[in-house]
Amino acid sequence: MINYNFIEGEILLFDKPYRWTSFDVVGKVRNYIRRYLGVKSIKVGHAGTLDPLATGLLIVCTGKATKQIETLQASDKEYTGTFVLGVTTPSFDLEKEADASWPTEHITEQAICQTAFSMTGAQMQAPPVFSAVKIDGKRAYDYARDNQDVIIASKPIVISEFEITRIVMPEVGFRIVCSKGTYIRGVARDFGRALGSGAYMSELRRTRSGEFRVSEAFDPEVFCRNLKDITPDRSGKAI
């Protein structure tokens, strides 16, 4: 039997669909919980943004569990995906069209694996200009979309694992375990540069955050439909 207490607090796991924003998931879940519990408002937030072009695990907290968001955000993350070598885009992913091409003839499988190994450990990373980093109260992507040059300070990150899972040139599959605040698009940029070429990220999926795994996650549409079968009691507890 489903037994949720959304007001006292729940930690919900969702598999964010492609092209949904993290806010789309939070907004939909909040509206359905509010409607089916018959309350005017309820706190709902997520513990770590996923870009619209990424899929995978999004942790959503309700009620009093929103106090745990900061702790949950601090957990390490695991991602899988694909880099494409020899091409760059301004956003380092598919949000923007290609702006330059680079040689790849010199890149060997050995070089790819060695570069991944060399990029593990503690390091400084410059966030992409197309990111939500705030500069003087304004998001970096707002400057970028207005074609304004900005300088974003590098931040400390840790890549604890960087495994190459597939090489079918120019595509390189990967699995990365990293600290909070790591931009995998930024890893794509740095990976291409380290290989004497360029690269962008064509696919990204978050498979784990801390102890939580995407295999345990709900499809948000299915979760919201299933709320119709939940009857809340007067305490706000869905039984």
**CA atoms of 43 and 37, how far apart (whole Å):** 13
Among 51, 136, 142, 146, the one annotated catalytic: 51
* C-beta of residue 79 within 8 angstroms of C-beta of residue 50: no
Helical pair 109-118 and 184-194, crossing angle rounded to 10 deg? 130
The DSSP secondary-structure symbol of 146 reads T
Evaluate whether 139 touches 127 at the Cβ level (below 8 Å): no
Instruction: State the amino acid at position 156 in one-letter form.
Output: P
The Cα–Cα gap between 126 and 120 comes to 16
Q: What does each C-alpha distance from 132 to 84, 128, 135, 183 come to in angstroms?
A: 23, 9, 9, 11
Length of the chain, in residues: 239
190 is catalytic: no
Q: Which positions are annotated as active-site residues?
A: 51
